[in-house]
Amino acid sequence: SEALYDESMMALASFAIDVPLALLGASLQIAIAFTFSGMAHSLFWTIFGWTLLVFFVYDSLFACVAAYAPDAQLAQLLATPCLTIFMLFNGFCVSRGGSPPWFRWIFDLSPNFHAMQSIITSVAAAEGPEAVSFADMLGYRAGQEETALGVMVGSIVVLRFLQVIGLKFFNHIQK
Protein backbone atom coordinates (compact mmCIF):
# COMPACT_ATOMS: atom_id res chain seq x y z
CA SER A 1 0.00 0.00 0.00
CA GLU A 2 2.99 2.31 0.51
CA ALA A 3 3.50 2.37 -3.24
CA LEU A 4 0.11 3.99 -3.84
CA TYR A 5 1.08 7.33 -2.31
CA ASP A 6 3.69 9.97 -2.87
CA GLU A 7 6.38 9.77 -0.17
CA SER A 8 5.88 13.34 1.01
CA MET A 9 2.13 12.71 1.38
CA MET A 10 2.84 9.59 3.41
CA ALA A 11 5.13 11.59 5.72
CA LEU A 12 2.50 14.33 6.01
CA ALA A 13 -0.25 11.81 6.78
CA SER A 14 1.93 10.18 9.40
CA PHE A 15 2.65 13.58 10.91
CA ALA A 16 -1.04 14.52 10.88
CA ILE A 17 -2.41 11.24 12.31
CA ASP A 18 0.29 9.45 14.31
CA VAL A 19 1.87 12.51 15.88
CA PRO A 20 -1.34 13.89 17.46
CA LEU A 21 -2.03 10.51 19.05
CA ALA A 22 1.51 10.27 20.40
CA LEU A 23 1.31 13.92 21.42
CA LEU A 24 -1.75 13.21 23.51
CA GLY A 25 0.07 10.39 25.29
CA ALA A 26 3.18 12.51 25.83
CA SER A 27 1.09 15.42 27.12
CA LEU A 28 -0.62 13.20 29.65
CA GLN A 29 2.73 11.79 30.81
CA ILE A 30 4.17 15.27 31.26
CA ALA A 31 1.10 16.50 33.13
CA ILE A 32 1.10 13.49 35.46
CA ALA A 33 4.84 13.76 36.16
CA PHE A 34 4.53 17.50 36.78
CA THR A 35 1.65 16.94 39.18
CA PHE A 36 3.79 14.60 41.26
CA SER A 37 6.87 16.85 41.09
CA GLY A 38 5.55 19.45 43.51
CA MET A 39 6.96 22.33 41.45
CA ALA A 40 5.29 25.72 41.30
CA HIS A 41 2.37 25.82 38.87
CA SER A 42 3.92 28.86 37.18
CA LEU A 43 6.62 26.52 35.76
CA PHE A 44 4.17 24.14 34.11
CA TRP A 45 4.09 25.71 30.64
CA THR A 46 7.88 26.09 30.51
CA ILE A 47 8.42 22.44 31.37
CA PHE A 48 5.53 21.29 29.19
CA GLY A 49 6.70 23.28 26.16
CA TRP A 50 10.34 22.20 26.24
CA THR A 51 9.44 18.59 26.92
CA LEU A 52 7.04 18.53 23.98
CA LEU A 53 9.67 20.09 21.76
CA VAL A 54 12.06 17.27 22.70
CA PHE A 55 9.26 14.83 21.84
CA PHE A 56 8.92 16.38 18.36
CA VAL A 57 12.69 16.24 17.77
CA TYR A 58 12.85 12.56 18.69
CA ASP A 59 9.71 11.73 16.72
CA SER A 60 11.37 13.34 13.69
CA LEU A 61 14.65 11.51 14.36
CA PHE A 62 12.96 8.12 14.63
CA ALA A 63 10.84 8.74 11.52
CA CYS A 64 13.96 9.76 9.61
CA VAL A 65 15.92 6.68 10.68
CA ALA A 66 12.93 4.44 9.90
CA ALA A 67 12.76 5.89 6.39
CA TYR A 68 16.29 4.71 5.63
CA ALA A 69 16.23 1.35 7.41
CA PRO A 70 14.84 -1.68 5.59
CA ASP A 71 13.05 -3.00 8.71
CA ALA A 72 11.94 -1.91 12.18
CA GLN A 73 14.63 -3.89 14.01
CA LEU A 74 17.47 -2.16 12.13
CA ALA A 75 15.77 1.23 12.53
CA GLN A 76 15.66 0.78 16.28
CA LEU A 77 19.28 -0.39 16.31
CA LEU A 78 20.37 2.68 14.31
CA ALA A 79 18.38 5.18 16.39
CA THR A 80 19.59 3.93 19.78
CA PRO A 81 23.12 5.44 19.63
CA CYS A 82 21.73 8.91 18.83
CA LEU A 83 19.23 8.67 21.66
CA THR A 84 21.88 7.44 24.09
CA ILE A 85 24.42 10.11 23.18
CA PHE A 86 21.89 12.93 23.44
CA MET A 87 20.60 11.61 26.75
CA LEU A 88 24.12 11.44 28.18
CA PHE A 89 25.14 14.86 26.90
CA ASN A 90 22.25 16.71 28.56
CA GLY A 91 24.43 18.85 30.82
CA PHE A 92 23.50 16.90 33.94
CA CYS A 93 24.87 13.40 33.30
CA VAL A 94 27.82 14.84 31.40
CA SER A 95 28.38 18.57 31.76
CA ARG A 96 29.86 20.76 29.06
CA GLY A 97 32.75 21.73 31.32
CA GLY A 98 33.37 18.15 32.42
CA SER A 99 33.47 16.69 28.94
CA PRO A 100 36.57 16.39 26.77
CA PRO A 101 36.93 19.36 24.39
CA TRP A 102 36.40 17.21 21.30
CA PHE A 103 32.92 16.20 22.56
CA ARG A 104 31.58 19.66 23.36
CA TRP A 105 29.98 20.12 19.95
CA ILE A 106 27.47 17.40 20.92
CA PHE A 107 25.91 19.79 23.46
CA ASP A 108 25.13 22.22 20.64
CA LEU A 109 23.10 19.53 18.85
CA SER A 110 21.57 17.73 21.83
CA PRO A 111 17.85 18.45 22.23
CA ASN A 112 18.09 17.12 25.77
CA PHE A 113 20.77 19.68 26.65
CA HIS A 114 18.81 22.60 25.24
CA ALA A 115 15.60 21.55 26.98
CA MET A 116 17.37 20.81 30.28
CA GLN A 117 19.20 24.14 30.16
CA SER A 118 16.01 26.08 29.51
CA ILE A 119 14.02 24.21 32.15
CA ILE A 120 16.75 24.22 34.82
CA THR A 121 17.51 27.92 34.44
CA SER A 122 13.78 28.75 34.67
CA VAL A 123 13.32 26.58 37.74
CA ALA A 124 16.49 28.02 39.31
CA ALA A 125 15.31 31.58 38.75
CA ALA A 126 12.03 30.71 40.47
CA GLU A 127 13.73 28.94 43.37
CA GLY A 128 16.31 31.59 44.24
CA PRO A 129 20.07 32.28 44.42
CA GLU A 130 21.13 28.84 45.68
CA ALA A 131 19.38 27.15 42.78
CA VAL A 132 20.90 29.63 40.33
CA SER A 133 24.36 28.80 41.75
CA PHE A 134 23.64 25.10 41.24
CA ALA A 135 22.56 25.69 37.63
CA ASP A 136 25.72 27.74 37.05
CA MET A 137 27.82 24.93 38.53
CA LEU A 138 26.32 22.53 35.99
CA GLY A 139 27.24 24.96 33.20
CA TYR A 140 23.71 25.94 32.26
CA ARG A 141 23.35 29.52 31.00
CA ALA A 142 20.14 31.49 31.22
CA GLY A 143 18.83 33.37 28.19
CA GLN A 144 19.64 30.67 25.62
CA GLU A 145 16.03 29.91 24.74
CA GLU A 146 16.18 31.45 21.24
CA THR A 147 19.23 29.38 20.35
CA ALA A 148 17.60 26.27 21.78
CA LEU A 149 14.39 26.87 19.87
CA GLY A 150 16.30 27.46 16.64
CA VAL A 151 18.37 24.29 17.01
CA MET A 152 15.39 22.14 17.90
CA VAL A 153 12.99 23.47 15.24
CA GLY A 154 15.83 23.34 12.70
CA SER A 155 16.47 19.71 13.65
CA ILE A 156 12.80 18.86 13.18
CA VAL A 157 12.70 20.46 9.72
CA VAL A 158 15.95 18.83 8.55
CA LEU A 159 15.00 15.39 9.89
CA ARG A 160 11.54 15.53 8.28
CA PHE A 161 13.12 16.58 4.97
CA LEU A 162 15.60 13.70 5.23
CA GLN A 163 12.71 11.37 6.03
CA VAL A 164 11.03 12.25 2.73
CA ILE A 165 14.32 11.76 0.86
CA GLY A 166 14.82 8.38 2.54
CA LEU A 167 11.31 7.25 1.68
CA LYS A 168 11.65 8.42 -1.90
CA PHE A 169 15.11 7.11 -2.79
CA PHE A 170 16.35 4.53 -0.31
CA ASN A 171 13.66 1.88 0.08
CA HIS A 172 12.87 1.37 -3.60
CA ILE A 173 9.12 1.37 -3.13
CA GLN A 174 7.48 0.12 -6.34
CA LYS A 175 4.62 2.21 -7.76
151-162 pLDDT, tens digit each: 999 999 999 999
Taking the C-alpha atoms of residue 115 and residue 132, their distance in angstroms, rounded to an integer, is 16
As to burial, measured by CB atoms within 10 angstroms (0-12 exposed, 13-18 middle, 19+ buried), residue 128 is: exposed
Q: What percent of the chain clears pLDDT 70, i.e. is strictly above it? A: 93
Predicted confidence band of residue 170 (pLDDT cuts 50, 70, 90): confident
146 pLDDT more than 90? yes
Q: pLDDT category, 17, cuts 50, 70, 90?
A: confident
Mean pLDDT of 19-23: 86
pLDDT of residue 34: 94
- What is the model's pLDDT at position 173? 58
- What share of the chain has pLDDT > 90, as a percent? 58
